[in-house]
Structures are given as structure tokens and as C-alpha cells.
């Protein structure tokens, strides 16, 4: 059984963190999102994974060296400067996927605890050309939305509909089972949108079915969603993540502390906090409701609350980083700087004075 993971898109809403890494490699409780997906694929006995990437993503994914265990991972790359959209990469990988059996397609930028085995079973039973995992959300406007008949056949499919157009709150979870017949619906050598070009056609022909997914699903597209998925998973694994909590500091669960992290005296970490691998935290530091990426250094008496701190960031003494702040990788913040809520800083930028209003600070 094969799966193709779409991972060649550009995450714009997670800037500045997505300037330096694809969304599929964002750490979720100290594990790249893609590693969670690989583990889930393995659990459901998928053997072959095709990563549909662009040049940059391919390099970044390979560099990350995610454990693959029993999975065989192949790469299928979009042509240089010609992103193929969500359907083009599937058509391009037609030979790798083959025509022997149905296969899985996964958006690489979501956390979706989908039972792939059941999805594939449902797909085979209905003999659909495509079966889409669907989940319920309050605001469907940022997603693909399905109108479902009683037998789970999808009558109509709208990509990013206006509020008046949206026929339901059942959205495309970005996880599909496709029969090889799908290749006939995808033109070759150009960008194709599966959602706008293929699904509406299949719906008309009654070859598109839905599979209701009611377990955990989260698009990590927005910073608050990214913090939320970390919080949810921290709560699920409470108490199992902190073997190396330092002497003299306090950990308030739920917290995850990465390998070789060092925490100074009287510092309080948590609740709802992830400290990445190789992070260094000084004395009297307070970090809560935040995610700190690998290799960040946070000096004495600094306060961080509700923020995302990129990899290898260096933060000085007595710094204040409040809610909704995002620091890109390698940012430096000097001693005594206070940031206003919602300040975002581009990678490698140095900040030596306080910032009083929410804004993006770039080079
Ligand atoms: N290789 C490749 N090339 N991959 C791509 C390209 C491309 O040109 N464009 C997008 N992708 C990948 C993205 O990396 C992502 O994993 C997936 O395809 C979906 O693309 P997004 O750009 O993230 O789409 P979206 O989030 O606006 O909407 C999609 O996901 C929603 C669920 O999160 C749609 O499938 C919606 O219908 C769905 O509800
Ligand atoms: Mg997306």
C-alpha cells in the first residue's frame, strides 16, 4: 500500500517561522509534524511513501533525517519554479504509485489522527474513485466543503466557499483514498488543483465519497492553531516528557522538555510549554503557554508567555515576550527589551530596543 504526502506548498500565515522551514517540518511537541505522519502510516501498515516536494522542501526534509523504520521513502519533485499545485504532483508520481491498488494522499501540513485502515476499507466498499476524510469545524470558509448525501456520496464540493455558498460545516481534512482511475481526471505537465478541478467533476459523476473523521484534526496554519495542537498533545502525554527536568527549577505540567535541555535555578517552565532539544534556560526565567524551538538560549529573569520562539534564538536578560509574539530562527533580543503583544520578528534580526506596538520587524 502506498501513500503520497503533499509537501511542496508555501505556508504564508506562519511567517516568519515558515521562512526557514516547510510546515511539514514544524516541531509538534518536539517531533516534526512529518514524523507524526510517518508513524501513523507505519501503524497502518503502509510501506511506501512518496514525498511530493519542491527543491527546497526536499533538502529540508532530507536534512531533518526523520526516522523511517519500515517505511520506504521516495521523492517526487515539482519542476523548478513550477509548483504543480495539489493535483499535479499526484499525476507526476503516477508511475511511482502505479495502477495496482488504491492509495492514500495526505496534505503534509495538517495534524490528522485519521484511521487510514478504515478510510481505505470504506473507500473499497463504496467503489468510489475518491474518498475524502471529512471533519466538522465551526468556520468552514478556509477549507474545502462537502455536501453529503445519506449514503455518504458527496453531492457537491466547494473549495474555500463564501459563507453563503458553504453547504455544510463538513470540511476536507486533507486526507484521501484514491482509486488509480483518478489519474484520468488529472491533466499532465501542468499545475492542477484537485479541490477545484477534480473533486467537483467527480461529485457530478457520483464517484466522490466522504468518510467522517471525528478524532483529532488540526490545520496548523495559524500561530494560535499551532500552539493549540501542541497544547492538546501535551495534555495527552502529560507527565511522560520530562525525564531531564533540572534540579532547582520547577516544571508545571503539561510540559515537554527536549533532549539535552538545561534549565537554571528557580526558573518555572509551564504549564502548556514545549522546550526544544538543546535549549538553554537561565535562572529565574518564567515560560508558559509557549513553544520554544531547538537550540534557543534564554537568559536570566526573562518572561515568555503565549509566544513561539524559533530555533537558535538568543534572548538576553530581563526580556519580556508576551502573547502572540513570534521570533524567527536566529533572532537576537538584547537585555531589558520588552515586546508588545503580537510582535513578530524575521529570522536573524537583532532587536536592541523595546517595541511598543504589534508589528512585524523585518530586515
Ligand atoms: N508538491 C506540491 N506542489 N505540494 C503542494 C503544492 C505544490 O505546488 N501546493 C500545495 N501543496 C501541498 C501543501 O504543502 C499542503 O501540504 C497541501 O498540498 C495542501 O495545500 P495548501 O496550500 O496547504 O492548501 P490549503 O490549506 O489552502 O487547503 C487544503 O487543505 C485544507 C485542509 O487543511 C485543501 O485541500 C482544502 O480543501 C482542505 O480543507
Ligand atoms: Mg494547508
Ligand nearest to the CA of 107: 1
Question: Nearest C-alpha to atom 13 of ligand 1 is from which residue?
Answer: 9
- Residue 14, pLDDT score: 83
Give residues with Cβ within 8 angstroms of 235, minimum separation 6: 254
Q: Is the pTM of this model over 0.85?
A: yes
The ranges assigned to domains in the chain are 2-219, 223-361
Among 35-49, 247-261, 295-309, 345-359, whose mean pLDDT is lowest? 247-261
- Residue 76, pLDDT score: 98
Q: What is the CATH number of domain 2-219?
A: 3.90.550.10
Span from the CA of 108 to the centroid of ligand 2 (angstroms): 8
Ligand nearest to the CA of 218: 1
Express each pLDDT in 220-239 by its tens digit: 889 999 999 999 999 998 76
Question: Which superfamily does CATH assign the domain made up of 223-361 to?
Answer: Hexapeptide repeat proteins (2.160.10.10)
Integer Cα distance of 135 and 154 in angstroms:
13
- Residue 206, pLDDT score: 97
Give residues with Cβ within 8 angstroms of 97, minimum separation 6: 2, 4, 50, 90, 103, 180
Q: Which three cell numbers stand for residue 161?
A: 466557499
Span from the CA of 27 to the centroid of ligand 2 (angstroms): 16
Express each pLDDT in 14-54 by its tens digit: 889 888 899 999 999 999 999 999 999 999 999 999 999 99
Ligand 1 neighbourhood includes 25 CB (under 6 angstroms): no
Express each pLDDT in 129-187 by its tens digit: 999 999 999 999 999 999 999 999 999 999 999 888 888 999 999 999 999 999 999 99
Ligand 1 neighbourhood includes 87 CB (under 6 angstroms): no
Amino acid at each position: 500500500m502506498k501513500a503520497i504526502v503533499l509537501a511542496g506548498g508555501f505556508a504564508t500565515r506562519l511567517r516568519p517561522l515558515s521562512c526557514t522551514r516547510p510546515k511539514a517540518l514544524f516541531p509538534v511537541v518536539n517531533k516534526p509534524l512529518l514524523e507524526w505522519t510517518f508513524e501513523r502510516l507505519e501503524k497502518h501498515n503502509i510501506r511506501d511513501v512518496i514525498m511530493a516536494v519542491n527543491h527546497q522542501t526536499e533538502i529540508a526534509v532530507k536534512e531533518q533525517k526523520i526516522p523511517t523504520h519500515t517505511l520506504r521513502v521516495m521523492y517526487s519533485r515539482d519542476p523548478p519554479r513550477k509548483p504543480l499545485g495539489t493535483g499535479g504532483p499526484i499525476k507526476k508520481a503516477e508511475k511511482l504509485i502505479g495502477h495496482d491498488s488504491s492509495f492514500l494522499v495526505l496534505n503534509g501540513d495538517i495534524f490528522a489522527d485519521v484511521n487510514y485502515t478504515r478510510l481505505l476499507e470504506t473507500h473499497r466498499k463504496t467503489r468510489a474513485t475518491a474518498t475524502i476524510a471529512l471533519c466538522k469545524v465551526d468556520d468552514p470558509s478556509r477549507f474545502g466543503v462537502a455536501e453529503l448525501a445519506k449514503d455518504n456520496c458527496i453531492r457537491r464540493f466547494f473549495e474555500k466557499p463564501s459563507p453563503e455558498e458553504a453547504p455544510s460545516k463538513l470540511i476536507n481534512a486533507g486526507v484521501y483514498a484514491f482509486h488509480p482511475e483518478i489519474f484520468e481526471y488529472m491533466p499532465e505537465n501542468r499545475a492542477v488543483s484537485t479541490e477545484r478541478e477534480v473533486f467537483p467533476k467527480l461529485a457530478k459523476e457520483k464517484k466522490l465519497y466522504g468518510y467522517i473523521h471525528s478524532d483529532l484534526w488540526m490545520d496548523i496554519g495559524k500561530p494560535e492553531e499551532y500552539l493549540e495542537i501542541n497544547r492538546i498533545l501535551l495534555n495527552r502525554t502529560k507527565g511522560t516528557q520530562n525525564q531531564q527536568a533540572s534540579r532547582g527549577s520547577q516544571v508545571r505540567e503539561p510540559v515537554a522538555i527536549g533532549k539535552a535541555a538545561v534549565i537554571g535555578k528557580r526558573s518555572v517552565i509551564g504549564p502548556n510549554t514545549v522546550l526544544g532539544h538543546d535549549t538553554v534556560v537561565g535562572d529565574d526565567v518564567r515560560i508558559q503557554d509557549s513553544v520554544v524551538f531547538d537550540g534557543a538560549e534564554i537568559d536570566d529573569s526573562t518572561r515568555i508567555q503565549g509566544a513561539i520562539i524559533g530555533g537558535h534564538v538568543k534572548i538576553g536578560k530581563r526580556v519580556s515576550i508576551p502573547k502572540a509574539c513570534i521570533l524567527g530562527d536566529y533572532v537576537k533580543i538584547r537585555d531589558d527589551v520588552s515586546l508588545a503583544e503580537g510582535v513578530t520578528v524575521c529570522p536573524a534580526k537583532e532587536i536592541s530596543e523595546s517595541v511598543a506596538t504589534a508589528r512585524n520587524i523585518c530586515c
